[in-house]
Amino acid sequence: MMMQPPGSDLLEQYLDSIQRLILTVDDPELKQELSDVSDALESGSITLGTALFWEHNEARKILRKAFSDADFLIIRLEK
């Protein structure tokens, strides 16, 4: 059995969530932006932090929604 790195399941959920949201977008430019981010995340070219602060405003909103939809957001408050 092959071991996956911690968080890889969450990343897969996030990528799946992005793909579902891409299907709801009508704007071809926005679809391309989201596809580019998804591909870059999957290949490891960018980090989640980069995706969540993507330059394209509309794409960034959808990427953050996908992040939330994938239950990826875990907040720890530490002093």
Residue pLDDT, tens place only, 36-48? 999 999 999 998 8
In terms of Cβ atoms closer than 10 Å to its own Cβ (0-12, 13-18, 19+), residue 18 is buried
Q: Output the six-digit token pair for 56.
A: 């394209």
- Distance linking the first and last C-alpha atoms of the chain: 39
Nearest to 14 by CA among 67, 73, 74, 54: 67
Contact 34, 25 (CB under 8 A): yes
Prediction pTM value: 0.72
Report, as ranges of residue numbers, the positions in the chain whose pLDDT lies below 70. 1-8, 71-79
Residue extents of the structural domains in the chain: 26-71
